[in-house]
Amino acid sequence: ATLWPALAVDDAHERAALIAAADDALAHRWDFFDIDVIEPVIDWHADPVAGISAPRIFGSDINHRDERLVGDIKVTWEKSRHHHLTILAAAYHVTRDERYAAEVADQLRSWVDENPVLIGVNWTHALESGIRLISWVWCDRLLRGSVHHARAFGDDSPLWASIWQQQRFIAGWRSRGSSANNHLIGEMAGLYVAASAWPLWPQSARWAARARRSLEREALAQTCPSGINREMAFSYQLFVAEFYLVSLNEARRSGDTFSAPCRERLKRMIEAIWHLRDARGNLPRYGDEDDGVALRLQPEGPARLDWILSTGRALLDAVVPARKSLTSTLMRLPAAGPSSVPLIGPRAWPDAGLYLLANRRGTSREVFVLADAGPLGFLSIAAHGHADANAFTLSVGGVALLVDPGTYAYHTNKRWRSYFRSTAAHNTVTVDGADQSEQRGAFLWTRKARAQALAWSAAEHESTLTAEHDGYRHLGVRHRRTWRLAGDRLAITDLLVGRGDHRVAHHLHCHPECVVEADAHGVHIRREGIRVRVVVPGGFSVEIMRGGDEGGWFSAHFGHREPAATIRMSAQVRAGDEWLTTLEMESES
C-alpha cells in the first residue's frame, strides 16, 4: 500500500468539526435522520431507536418494508453504509490519532463477522454494497501509515473475502427494470471504484469495464440533455452527481477514462446545480429527499456543495466556482484557481420542465421563483417523484418563504409518506380534493399527470411562464397556470380548462420560521425582514393551517417533521373562469 503523507488542514473550523464528528463516531453515536442515540455495542442488523434486530436469515427472504420485523430499515442501512467510518479515517489521516484508526479496524472486522455473505438485511440491496465499498476504499487509503491498517486491509484480513463477495453480489444482483434508477448508478459506481482501486482478482478488470460502460449509458439515460436528473427529485441529482464524481476520480487515479458524451452530460449536471441555487446557496427540494450521500469525508453541511462544484470543475471543466473543501483536499484533486461564475436568471431547463423566474440574481434583493412543469418522475413507477405539477417555490434575497415541505419518511409512517408526496403538500392547486397523480405504494404511481409548458418568455426584469397538466382529466378538466414575475410582484393566474363546476384549493406552504397572519387586505408572510402580501382571489375563503390533519407541516430533512404555516385558499369555480393570486414582496427595513 502506498503511504499517503499526513494532511495539514488549514481551516481550523473544518478541523474542529471533523474531530467532533469523529469523536461522536468513536462513541457509537448515531445522529442521522433526526435521531440521536448511542449504541454501546453495535448490532449491524438493528434499528437501535425501535429496539428491533432483523432476523439473520437469507437476505432476499426478509421483508425490509415490514417495520415490525426490521424497524426503520433506513436507519439500519445507514449505519452499514459506513459514512461514519470514513469520518473516523479522515480524522486519523489529519491528526494521526490512532484511536480513530483502531475504531475503524474494529468496526470493519465486526461488520464482516456479523454479515456473512447473503445473510441479513445488509445483503438485500446491491446499492448498499456499492456505497459500502466506496467507503471501504477510502478507509483503506486514509488509514495507511496506521498500526491498525493491517488489521483491516492486511494480506490476511477477512475483509478481502467480503470485498470480493460484495462485488460479485453487485455484478449479479444489480437493479433492473423499473428499479434501474439511481440505485443502478450507485451500484455500478461502487463496483467501478472497488474493482479499480483493488484490481486483485481475475474478474476485476471485467467488472471495472462493465461498470464503466453501464455508468456511461445511465448518465445519458437518467440525465436530461440540460443536466437535470430525470427522477425529478433534486436530492437525487446531488446523490447521482457524487457517484459519478467519485468514479471519475477513480478513473483519474487508475488511468482510465469515461466517454466524451458521458462527461459532457455530467458537466451540464454540475452546472445546473450551480445555477439552481439562490442568493444564500439554498438548493431546490422538489421530489424525494432522503439525505443519501455517495461518500462522506467531512461532516454534513454546506461543504457538500463545495466539493461537488470543485470536483466538477477539476474533473469535468464545469463552468462553476471552485471552492476548496476538506473533501476535495483529501481526494488530492488537481488545484483550481479561484473563480467567479455569475448566476444567470431567468433560466429554463425545458426538457425537465423546470423554469426559473428570477431577477437581481445573487443579491440581497433577488427574487427567485422555481416553477415545475415537468414529468412526475423516471421510468414506469416514477418512484421518487411527487405530485407537484404546476407547483413553485419562492425565496427573496435567499430567504426561503414559500417552500417544498420535503419528504419525511419512506418505509415507515405510511400516512405521512402519502401526505408529503401529495398535491396538497405542494404550492399548487387541488381539484375536488384529489391528487394529480394516483399513489399505489410508497414508491409507486399509477395514473400520472402529464405536464407541459405552453409559453415561456424571459427578460432581465420580467419573465412569464404558462403551463398546464392533465392530472384531473378523469374529472373533465386540465389545470393551466401562468406565472408573471415583474420586479417585486408575482402574479399567478389559474384556470381549469374543460367542463363543470369544481372545488379548488390553492395551497401555499411557508417556511416554519415565517410569521403568517391574515387581515382584510390579504395574507401577510414575514421572515427576516422580508414581507410578502398575498392578495387572495375574490370569492375565495382563507385558512391558515399549522400542524393539522390536512396540512401545516415541514420536513427539513429525512425523519424530521415540524409544524409550519400552510395557507389554503378555496372556492367553487366553473371551468373556463380564471382566478388571480398576487404576491407583493418588500423589505420591512
Alpha helices for 336-452 (secondary structure H) = 414-421
Instruction: Give the span between the Cα atoms of 566 and 276, in whole angstroms.
Output: 24
Helices (H) and strands (E) in the chain, counts: 15, 25
CB 279 within 8 A of CB 359: no
Please list the pLDDT of the chain residue by residue as tens digits (589 residues): 455 666 666 678 888 999 999 999 999 999 999 899 999 999 999 999 999 999 999 999 999 999 999 999 999 999 999 999 999 999 999 999 999 999 999 999 999 999 999 999 999 999 999 999 999 999 999 999 999 999 999 999 999 999 999 999 999 999 999 889 999 999 999 999 999 999 999 999 999 999 999 999 999 999 999 999 999 999 999 999 999 999 999 999 999 999 999 999 999 999 999 999 999 999 999 999 999 999 999 998 778 999 999 999 999 999 999 888 889 889 988 876 667 788 888 999 999 999 999 999 999 999 999 999 999 999 999 999 999 999 999 999 999 999 999 999 999 999 999 999 999 999 999 999 999 999 999 999 999 999 999 999 998 889 999 999 999 999 999 999 999 999 999 999 999 999 999 999 999 999 999 999 999 889 999 999 999 999 999 999 999 999 999 999 999 999 999 999 999 999 999 999 999 999 999 987 6
Element (H, E) at 37: strand 37-38
When computed from its CA atoms, the radius of gyration of the chain, rounded to whole angstroms, is 24
CB 277 within 8 A of CB 305: yes
- pLDDT confidence of residue 178: 85
Alpha helices for 325-398 (secondary structure H) = 326-330
- pLDDT confidence of residue 303: 83
CB 509 within 8 A of CB 516: no
Residues 6+ apart with CB under 8 A from 96: 6, 145
Task: Reduce the DSSP state of residue 95 to 3 states and report it.
Answer: helix
Sequence ranges of the domains in the chain: 1-173, 215-341, 347-587
- pLDDT confidence of residue 6: 61
- The CA–CA distances, whole Å, from 185 to 4, 116, 241, 253, 384 equal 29, 25, 10, 20, 15
Q: State which CATH number among 3.40.50.1780, 3.90.950.20, 2.40.440.10, 2.70.98.70 fits the domain covering 347-587.
A: 2.70.98.70
Q: How many CB atoms lie within 10 A of CB 420?
A: 23
Q: Give one word for 500, left, alpha or beta, with left for phi > 0 and alpha for psi -120 to 50.
A: left
CB 483 within 8 A of CB 369: yes
Residue 290 φ/ψ, nearest 5 degrees: -125, 15
pTM score above 0.95 = yes
Instruction: Copy the grid coordinates of residue 342.
Output: 455569475
Residue 26's closest CA among 81, 84, 95?
Answer: 84
- pLDDT confidence of residue 323: 80
